[in-house]
C-alpha cells in the first residue's frame, strides 16, 4: 500500500497541530527554580528515658499503622532513638497537604490515649515543595577586632533579647 497525501492536506494538519500546541502553552507549569522535593509531613514526639526499641514497639509502630490509612501516601519512614522519634511521611505530587495535615491531627488525637504514659503529644511539621526556606533577616557584622571578640559581642549584646534566633 502506498499512501499519497497532497501538500495542502499536510499543511492543514501542520497548522492544526500548531494551533493546538500554542493553545496548550499557558497550561504548562514553569518555575524559575523548580523544586525537587516531594510534599511531606514529619511527626516528632518524645518519651523521656525510653529505649529506642520501646519507642519503636510501643509508639512508632502504632502510629505508622494508624497513618497508613491515609490516601496519597508515597512512603513512610521512621527513626527511633533513645527518648525521641520521628515519622516522615512523603506524599504523591498533587496531594492536598492541608487536608492531610487535618486528617493526621485527627488520627493523632484519637490514638494518643492508647499510647503509653509519658509520651509527649506528637508535633506535626509540614514541608511543602515550594516552601521558601530563605532567611527572613540576616546580619553582616564587620569590625576591626578579632573574630572571637566579634562573636562574643554579637552574642552578648545584639541577640540576647531574641533567644529564638539562630546565630
Question: What DSSP letter does each residue of 51-77 carry, written as one string?
Answer: -HHHHIIIIIHHHHHHHTTSTTEEEEE
| pTM metric for this prediction | 0.57
Residue 12's pLDDT band, with cuts at 50, 70 and 90, is: very high
Kindly list the structural domains of the chain, giving each domain's residue range(s) and its CATH number in brackets, ordered by start. Answer: 40-127 (3.30.70.1430), 134-167 (no CATH)
> Would you call 103 exposed, middle or buried from its count of C-beta atoms within 10 A (0-12, 13-18, 19+)?
middle
Radius of gyration from C-alpha coordinates of the chain: 27
Residue range 81-99: mean pLDDT, rounded: 88
State the Cα angle at 109 between 105 and 115, rounded to 5°: 125
Q: Are 72 and 92 in contact (CB under 8 A)?
A: yes
Q: Residue 115 corresponds to which cell in the numbers above?
A: 499510647
Cα 140 from Cα 151, distance rounded (Å):
12
Q: Is-contact 6 84, C-beta < 8 A?
A: no
Does the pLDDT of residue 158 top 90, yes or no? no
Q: What is the pLDDT of residues 24-78, one digit of tens each?
A: 998 887 777 666 667 889 999 999 989 989 999 999 999 999 999 898 899 999 9
Amino acid at each position: 500500500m502506498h499512501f499519497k497525501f497532497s501538500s495542502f492536506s499536510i499543511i492543514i494538519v501542520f497548522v492544526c497541530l500548531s494551533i493546538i500546541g500554542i493553545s496548550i502553552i499557558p497550561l504548562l507549569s514553569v518555575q524559575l527554580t523548580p523544586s525537587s522535593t516531594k510534599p511531606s509531613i514529619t511527626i516528632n514526639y518524645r518519651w523521656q528515658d525510653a529505649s529506642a526499641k520501646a519507642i519503636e514497639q510501643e509508639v512508632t509502630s502504632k502510629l505508622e499503622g494508624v497513618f497508613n490509612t491515609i490516601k496519597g501516601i508515597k512512603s513512610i519512614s521512621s527513626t527511633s532513638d533513645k527518648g525521641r522519634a520521628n515519622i516522615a511521611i512523603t506524599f504523591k505530587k498533587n496531594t492536598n497537604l492541608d487536608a492531610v495535615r487535618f486528617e493526621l491531627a485527627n488520627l493523632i488525637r484519637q490514638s494518643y490515649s492508647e499510647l503509653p504514659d509519658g509520651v509527649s503529644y506528637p508535633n506535626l511539621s509540614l514541608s511543602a515543595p515550594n516552601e521558601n526556606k530563605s532567611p527572613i533577616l540576616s546580619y553582616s557584622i564587620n569590625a576591626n577586632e578579632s573574630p572571637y571578640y566579634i562573636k562574643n559581642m554579637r552574642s552578648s549584646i545584639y541577640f540576647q533579647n531574641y533567644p529564638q534566633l539562630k546565630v
